Amino acid sequence: MRRRDFNALIGSAAAWPFAAFAQRAAIPVVGLLSPEAPTSSDVNGLREGLRQLGYIEENNVHIEYRFAKGNFDRLSQFAKELVALKVDLIVSFVTQASIEAKKATATIPIVMVGVADPVGSGLVASFNRPGTNVTGTSSVATDVVSKQLGLLKEVVPNTTLMAALWNPADPVFQTQQRKQAESAAQKLGLQLQFLEARSTSEFEAAFAAVEGIRVLFILIDPLFITNAKALAELSVKYRLASIFGYRTFADAGGLMAYGPNYFDIYKRSAYYVDKILKGASPSDLPVEQPTTFQFVVNLKAAKTLGMTIPAAIIAAADEVIE
């Protein structure tokens, strides 16, 4: 091979990675920050929403994924990594990820997804006028907790005492729910015994502490969402009629799940991505609250627990697992 041909070949090869980078840089780069695992169905909701708006990965959008896989301590570092990459915007799943993203940048737009209390957590000034670099969707729905407790009471009508699992290490996310639960329980003539679990290592002890109680209400928390299968298995092991606000709990063997349709919430976040990439300011895009809800009943779990689910409950369910 002649020297000039060899030099030309080397120069061409050296240019390949730069060409690839330039090609990627020519399309918008979206950072995704999540405390969940890559297998989460929520990610598919975002992808479907983007596809419906014409965004195809590695065609006209690139997504930089950062999954904490239940290790919330990693969210801060992942947020900093996305900022260092100078992504065009960050999509942050639930409260903790959104808070860490906002700590990492005051300039890169952030689309929060499924945040329980965006105003109370300081992410936005108000639902109608966020006033910051953050906007997106909230999971706040004022009557969800009351509905969940009401469903449990219908399934176990003679109960007056229920266990309630919560994560006191997450006051931003949980305080509002606990207040709602206490208020709803009082109206229904119920008493709640709160059980604490700050990490997966405390799950078993929390369930083992339940004595003389047949019913369990699980407050929504990212820690619990990520470990819905483990909680479902424990609720059956300790023979508890239980409800959680995330449908994967019922899919994994828990008795009931009622709450916002999180797939739709994550799918809707694509609307914000599209608006911001086209020039809209997050401070001017109102935060949206959930409009669709899911109620799933697992009759297999009921059979294992030796329970008969009222016909009215089954008729009201969006899905029944048999």
CATH architecture of 144-261+293-321: 3-Layer(aba) Sandwich (3.40)
Predicted local confidence at residue 7, as pLDDT: 44
Predicted local confidence at residue 315, as pLDDT: 97
Find the mean pLDDT for residues 11-26.
46
**Closest Cα partner for 123 from 101, 93, 90?**
101
- Is the pLDDT assigned to residue 218 strictly greater than 80? yes
* Per-residue tokens: 12: 């061409």
Instruction: Say which range, 4-8, 38-42, 129-133, has the weakest mean pLDDT.
Output: 4-8
Kindly report the number of other CB atoms within 10 A of residue 123's CB atom: 26
Kindly report the number of other CB atoms within 10 A of residue 80's CB atom: 15
* Per-residue tokens: 142: 């004022």
Query: What residue spans define the domains of the chain?
Result: 3-140+262-284, 144-261+293-321
Q: pLDDT per residue over 86-134, tens digit each?
A: 999 999 998 889 999 999 999 999 999 988 789 988 999 999 999 999 9
Predicted local confidence at residue 116, as pLDDT: 79
Predicted local confidence at residue 30, as pLDDT: 98
Residue holding tokens 């949206």?
Answer: 288
Flag whether the pTM goes above 0.95: no
* Per-residue tokens: 179: 């207040």
* Whole-angstrom distance, CA of residue 67 vs CA of residue 50: 19
Q: Give 3-140+262-284's CATH code, choosing from 1.10.10.60, 3.40.50.2300, 3.40.50.11540, 3.40.50.10490.
A: 3.40.50.2300
Instruction: Say which range, 42-56, 135-149, 227-241, 263-277, has the weakest mean pLDDT.
Output: 135-149
Residue holding tokens 């619990």?
Answer: 224
- Is the pLDDT assigned to residue 1 strictly greater than 60? no
Kindly report the number of other CB atoms within 10 A of residue 222's CB atom: 24
